[in-house]
Structure 1
Amino acid sequence: MKRLLFFVAFAAMAIFGRAEDLSSPNGNMKLTFELQDGIPTYQLSLNGHAIIKPSQLGLELKDTESLLDGFTIENSTNSAFDETWQPVWGESSSIRNNYNELAVTLKQPSTNRILLIRFRVFDDGLGFRYEFPQQDNLNYFVVKKERSEFAMAGDHTAWWIPGDYDTQEYDYTTSKLSEIGGLMENAITPNSSQTPISATAVQTALMMKTDDGYYINLHEAALKDYSCMHLELDDKNMVFESVLTPDAVGNMAYMQTPCTTPWRTVIACNNAADILMSNITLNLNEPCAYETTDWIKPVKYIGVWWEMITGKSSWSYTNLPSVKLGKTDYSKTTPNGTHAANTKHVKDYIDFAAENGFDAVLVEGWNEGWEDWFGKSKDYVFDFVTPYPDFDVKALREYALSKNVKLMMHHETSGSVRNYERHLDTAYRFMADNGYNSVKSGYVGDIIPRGEYHYGQWMVNHYLYAVKKAADYKIMVNAHEAVRPTGLCRTYPNLIGNESARGTEYEAFGGNNVNHTTILPFTRLTGGPMDYTPGIFEPDVSVHNPDNNSRVRTTLARQLALYVTMYSPLQMAADLPEVYQQHMDAFQFIKDVAIDWDKTLVLEAEPGDFITYARKAKGSNTWFVGRTNDEEARTSEISFDFLSPDKKYIATVYADAKDANWETNPKAYEIKKYVVSSKSVLRQFCASGGGYAIRIVPVEDKAELKGLKKL
């Protein structure tokens, strides 16, 4: 009888487009799908509270009828899924993937075409995508516009950056949705390559908070063979619609069935911490594509980098206005005297890395071509294998090997992706032959082929091609200026890091907003780790370069906290070795902090204000805590109830001094040790632009407790 009722209900749905509901495993998240006059729509609620109001779905196609309306329901299936999987590296050693699924097959009788929309409802949100089965009447097609809607239930507070086809390197603006249009002009700041979209277009991951305390995050997952999605706001009706990145001739995506779009994601919680703990983006990606992963390892590194960013040193070997690879004889040129990537200097960095237990040294500016790489739209700009005369590849390879330190390769493409692909195999083979197992790639400037954007389908395919090709040589990739991450590191874990946002380098270009690192974990890090390059101990950039008056808008204590709050399995100690030598007591935390984790907890969180994480190091009983604070001085209060109740621990707290302030006294910090247990509570002052970092280790010998105060 139950089966009969099911088919009767299904038949009614097929004929009339009756709504179909799907709940999350815990029953709190509810999706409703229905056809309204042949148009697919969905809505989402949490605890009966509207998260997404009725919103339309579909796509416009080029030179053929759209996939927007005129549908009937051909089929509908429900299923459930529950697994626990282990990432190669991550914020937790295991991740649960638990959802209920609704797959709706739609038929468009006028064209006899089929479109399947797949929904997955998790306890903390929703993922949906379009799927195009192989069929007679839809084989090759071009997407003109995707019209996925996200109708908001109110004028929410949002943390946003301008929609742009070429860059994410903007400071975040906090405003009501209705205020975005009026603030957009000032939010768009200069960049080496940028293409703003409109007065109300913003980028994902977009973080919002409702007036009644619900938190909503819009993003995408598993971005492959498709263009990156932005969101265009209808600020009269508070409805976002997807905006895809076009190619050089204005098309959004070229498709061949069978195929799918990326997942569109909605994370929703009534606790900010739950947004940070969500694994929806990772769970909507496929399992690891590699049979063996023992060559993929988290990396803590230093680098010949910050001194060039500040202007103390240069990437280029000469001051020639123009060079040509294979034509310019550098042995007959006059060195400029500021080139940082020279053999002696790099050896000094290798020594510092070895002395302090770092895995690798990044070297930028080692290869020919840096004299005229920037802003020239130059095709054959680098060959990625030919060093300057003062950089001895063989000697440095052997020296690094003798110190048990890896060198990290740098491949700046200058946006000439065609050139990079022509050299890619040779460049990776050169790395493998010389002991480099990780590369920082860069895509500064306008893209070649000319007319392509950083976030279009062509470039999305390139970024993944480079990662998969790197795997052939057992190389890990840290891509800067690439498309923002969408959880692909689950499938391709050698994608060990990205920049894809405004990172520490901007602190030397005028500074980031003080609250920047209290927002990024809610936005940029939703899709994967960020190579934020923390650890700047000298905030006054003019110390390195008298012509640069920029200041790093942070206290020293917060720089330590970033190793915990800005998650990455790739962590850089970005400042100069001579600066660290002045603060070796604080530098100890950077030496100690883990970069791979068994467990992660969020102890305090409010986007734009503060975040406090606690993380347990992988394979260890050592915990680390980090707190990043905005411009308002606050007192943080955390419990240590995450510790084992039958153990005592020693907590080393690196914190702002009472008179610390990012602007007036940034290097004022204090280091204290306490005996703590699972019953301990810490009340800790956090300065403007400040924070704190804690290392917590189990007591092995009671003698360790001598002279320590109990917290």
Structure 2
Amino acid sequence: MKQLLIAALLLASLQAVGQHAPLTAQLDQVGLTFALNPNGQPTYTLRYGAKVVVKPSRLGVALADGQGFEGPLEVVGSETKDVDETWQPVWGEVKTIRNHYRQLTVHLRQPAAPRRLLDVVFRVFADGLGFRYEWPRQANLQYFTVTAEHTEFNLPANHKAFWIPGDYDSNEYAYTTSRLSEINTTPIEVIQLKAAPYRVQTPLMLKSDDGLYVNIHEAALVNYPAMMLTVDPKTFGLTSDLVPAVTGAMAYLQAPEHTPWRTIVVSDKAPEVLASKLILNLNEPSQIQDPSWIKPQKFVGVWWEMQVGRASWNYSDSSNIKLAGTDWSRLKPNGRHGATTANVKRYIDFAAQHHIQGVLVEGWNVGWEDWVGNWKEEVFDFVTPYPDFNVDELQHYAASKGVKIIMHHETSGSATNYERRQDAAYRFMDEHGYDAVKTGYVGRIIPRGEHHDGQWMVNHYVHTAQKTAASHIMVDMHEPVRSTGLHRTYPNWLASEAARGNEFNAFSDGNAPEHETILPFTRLMGGPMDYTPGIFKLQGYAASAPKRQVHTTLAKQLALYVTMYSPLQMAADLPENYNQHLDAFQFIEDVPVDWDDTRILAAEPGDYIVTARKAKGKEEWYLGAITDEQARQQTVKLNFLTPGTKYVATIYADAKDADWQKNPAAYQIRQQSVNSRTALKLQLAPGGGAAISFKPVAK
């Protein structure tokens, strides 16, 4: 009786100062606490077992009229519910996904006029937390402008962080590994926009000294700007930093509305972070009723030869080109154009010979003479080929070989021009047998002043996913905002770039050997990346920079097809370079891009990853193991194989003297009989890797 009296007095005291008794939700080791602080501002705390993941951290949203939700607020109600369901993705890393969470919805209200309402919805998973702000339909809030979001992630210690600058227009940076207190983007050469000194991009990967792995990102980014994080190097607090519109505002909304989910994935085991489906589960189910036309695939393409300077995108070197009024047949060709009918046929022949489904062709359409750097609105019309690219002839030739040509739509950042021309462009694709397109957004955005990661462009990417879906077109977007799991909702959106890809090895100092061991913990947490692996000529490929090289071994290039998941995988090198190593190319020919099961066998961000995957609908497994600049021995237990079944393991490994700097192309291929009780010892060279196929022995 005495305890009940004390509880009642405590509740009355809290209500008297505008506070509310804390609300909690827990699933397995992940525990959430919601409370109002003494100023009436909403806060949350997150724990993993006995360890603090996020200390009490503020929540809130500021509006342009000064009557936002920064606090004070009062709790007017709450409810919880449990959800435990399964669903099957159209394509992916696993056949079935469990969506299990405990939801806590907190109803908040401004205590004074205009007494607007805000809900904060939390979903607690066994591997983390998702939460978002929701504005219900209400008389006192209809159209409104967000000027700031006060979401905090106050960390308990000076964690190790894997980060890139929070650039509003590019994610194509090399990762820095440092303590939170050491984050400073000032010395980094920027790509698009001068980044703030302490602003970093998400997904942000963290590791605590007491053994927790924490990943902070967002899910279902729709009709809202991307969230970046400003780091306080003294307190280790992180604050949301939204990408502004040209007006300086962050988002223009109309109730009922909600923000994207803010996500925190946490585990004491690094492989469990990579295996998490939390972000996918926070996205809406597929909007495509019949997805049978969506085909995960591998492709080659007229692309790498332009990256290394052997060919050009542009047909001529003429200047002062205008889209309208130019007689392209009278222009003098430069002799370096890559997208010629004859050259494309060469790639089609190679694809057909090696069971590669697609051929990407960049530089096929007029406009490349002045496409970059001019902030010009009408550069491409997406339907007019250069004189040396015969659309009809190539359509028939590819069809006769059982190969599809992949369309390329570079917008030069002019989203306005692209949206005006999308209907015509997609009709052109349908008429000529194209069912997949790679879009590009290189350069400054038009509408002028908008950013790649702002609300306007976020809506453009979703609009493009919807438009292509309506035309039964698969899409791969380059230079967009980083992924947030929307491929669940739009499974025709096969992949994106939105990170520093393999191409940087062609025209810059390249990607450090650790780069591919970090990307799965960062960029790929939100969805597949078109990384363009499979480079076999690792040195001497750039005539203008003969010392330039790819920072991996050849065996590691093979392993990337397993460790870096995408349903759209490019064999990025030139056919002639593959023809010199057809024994190694066999792995690229064999490896699937769609899976029934995935096992992360070992992982440590920045150091190594070992991943095994089971082919869709087959009793075949594939394994990839990669390392950073350190040589490693990885012992791999094959207990993921079906017991009682014998397999032939074909092992593509680094040679004994392989080294990413000194001898990157040295590899060895061997076969051995294995079963579920076998353990393999893999010797990974510096910057190296191993790729293995496991095929059942015919009975």
What is the TM-score of this pair, normalised by structure 2? 0.97
Structure-1 residue corresponding to 2:36: 35
Structure-1 residue corresponding to 2:178: 175
Matches within 5 A, 1:177-216: 177-181=180-184, 184-186=185-187, 188-191=188-191, 194-216=192-214
Matches within 5 A, 1:375-386: 375-386=373-384
What is the letter of the counterpart of residue 488 of structure 1? L
Distance in 2 between residues matched to 1:270 and 1:616, nearest whole Å: 25
Of 128, 132, 156, the residue aligned with 1:129 is 132
Distance in 1 between residues matched to 2:9 and 2:208, nearest whole Å: 36
1:387 paired to 2:389: no
Distance in 1 between residues matched to 2:489 and 2:266, nearest whole Å: 25
- SS, match of residue 211 in structure 1: coil
Distance in 2 between residues matched to 1:268 and 1:189, nearest whole Å: 31
Alpha carbons 1:164, 1:195 under 8 Å: kept: yes
Structure-2 residue corresponding to 1:120: 123
Alpha carbons 2:395, 2:433 under 8 Å: kept: yes
1:478 paired to 2:479: no
1:105 paired to 2:107: yes
1:531 paired to 2:533: no
Distance in 1 between residues matched to 2:189 and 2:627, nearest whole Å: 24
Structure-2 residue corresponding to 1:705: none
Matches within 5 A, 1:27-426: 28-37=29-38, 38-110=40-112, 111-181=114-184, 184-186=185-187, 188-191=188-191, 194-426=192-424
1:341-398 residue CA offsets vs partner (Å, 9 max, x unmatched) = 0001101110110010010100000000101101011111000000000000000001
- SS, match of residue 512 in structure 1: coil
Of 645, 648, 654, the residue aligned with 1:647 is 645
Alpha carbons 1:102, 1:119 under 8 Å: kept: yes
**C-alpha spacing 1:235/1:190, structure 2 compared with 1 (3 Å):** closer
Displacement of 1:235 in angstroms is: 1.4
Of 617, 620, 634, the residue aligned with 2:618 is 620
1:410-468 residue CA offsets vs partner (Å, 9 max, x unmatched) = 00000011111110111011111111000000000000111000000000000000110
**C-alpha spacing 1:549/1:370, structure 2 compared with 1 (3 Å):** farther
Displacement of 1:8 in angstroms is: 8.1
Structure-2 residue corresponding to 1:439: 437
- SS, match of residue 414 in structure 1: coil
Alpha carbons 1:299, 1:359 under 8 Å: kept: yes
Distance in 2 between residues matched to 1:165 and 1:512, nearest whole Å: 21
Displacement of 1:606 in angstroms is: 0.2
Displacement of 1:146 in angstroms is: 0.3
Matches within 5 A, 1:626-665: 626-665=624-663
What is the TM-score of this pair, normalised by structure 1? 0.95
Distance in 2 between residues matched to 1:77 and 1:127, nearest whole Å: 16
Alpha carbons 2:302, 2:360 under 8 Å: kept: yes
What is the letter of the counterpart of residue 639 of structure 1? K
Alpha carbons 1:310, 1:548 under 8 Å: kept: no
- Greater mean alpha carbon deviation, residues 108-117 or residues 574-583: 108-117
Distance in 2 between residues matched to 1:274 and 1:535, nearest whole Å: 27
Alpha carbons 1:302, 1:573 under 8 Å: kept: yes
Displacement of 1:547 in angstroms is: 4.7
Alpha carbons 1:17, 1:36 under 8 Å: kept: no
What is the letter of the counterpart of residue 156 of structure 1? H
Distance in 1 between residues matched to 2:276 and 2:101, nearest whole Å: 13
**C-alpha spacing 1:491/1:324, structure 2 compared with 1 (3 Å):** same
Structure-1 residue corresponding to 2:456: 458
- SS, match of residue 231 in structure 2: strand
What is the letter of the counterpart of residue 169 of structure 1? E
Displacement of 1:66 in angstroms is: 2.5
1:185-213 residue CA offsets vs partner (Å, 9 max, x unmatched) = 23x3342xx22331111000000000011
- SS, match of residue 586 in structure 2: helix
Distance in 1 between residues matched to 2:543 and 2:348, nearest whole Å: 24
Distance in 2 between residues matched to 1:16 and 1:416, nearest whole Å: 50
Distance in 1 between residues matched to 2:325 and 2:573, nearest whole Å: 36
Structure-2 residue corresponding to 1:709: none
Structure-2 residue corresponding to 1:583: 581
Distance in 2 between residues matched to 1:9 and 1:533, nearest whole Å: 64
- Greater mean alpha carbon deviation, residues 603-612 or residues 546-555: 546-555
Alpha carbons 1:349, 1:361 under 8 Å: kept: yes
Displacement of 1:291 in angstroms is: 1.0
Distance in 2 between residues matched to 1:376 and 1:10, nearest whole Å: 65
- SS, match of residue 543 in structure 1: coil
Structure 2 residues without counterparts, runs of 5 or longer: none
What is the letter of the counterpart of residue 45 of structure 1? R
Distance in 2 between residues matched to 1:16 and 1:467, nearest whole Å: 44
Displacement of 1:9 in angstroms is: 11
Displacement of 1:298 in angstroms is: 0.1
1:76-131 residue CA offsets vs partner (Å, 9 max, x unmatched) = 00100011000000000110000000000001121211000000000000000000
- Greater mean alpha carbon deviation, residues 258-267 or residues 13-22: 13-22
Query: Kindly, what percent of the aligned residue pairs are identical?
Result: 54
- SS, match of residue 580 in structure 2: helix
1:301-352 residue CA offsets vs partner (Å, 9 max, x unmatched) = 0000000011110000001122111322121121100101000110111011
What is the letter of the counterpart of residue 77 of structure 1? E
1:140-181 residue CA offsets vs partner (Å, 9 max, x unmatched) = 111110010000010000000001100000000000000002
Distance in 2 between residues matched to 1:9 and 1:577, nearest whole Å: 78
**C-alpha spacing 1:165/1:544, structure 2 compared with 1 (3 Å):** closer
Distance in 2 between residues matched to 1:416 and 1:281, nearest whole Å: 30
What is the letter of the counterpart of residue 666 of structure 2? A
Alpha carbons 1:412, 1:443 under 8 Å: kept: yes
Structure-2 residue corresponding to 1:708: none
Matches within 5 A, 1:556-595: 556-595=554-593
**C-alpha spacing 1:123/1:332, structure 2 compared with 1 (3 Å):** same
Structure 1 residues without counterparts, runs of 5 or longer: 702-711
Alpha carbons 1:163, 1:196 under 8 Å: kept: no
Aligned residues: 689
1:548-602 residue CA offsets vs partner (Å, 9 max, x unmatched) = 5421111000000000001000000000000000000000000000100000000
Alpha carbons 1:273, 1:602 under 8 Å: kept: yes
Structure 1 vs Structure 2 CA RMSD: 1.5
- SS, match of residue 581 in structure 2: helix
What is the letter of the counterpart of residue 233 of structure 2? D
Distance in 2 between residues matched to 1:595 and 1:489, nearest whole Å: 15
Alpha carbons 2:316, 2:333 under 8 Å: kept: yes
- SS, match of residue 272 in structure 2: helix
What is the letter of the counterpart of residue 372 of structure 1? D
Alpha carbons 1:311, 1:548 under 8 Å: kept: no
Structure-2 residue corresponding to 1:599: 597
Displacement of 1:11 in angstroms is: 7.6
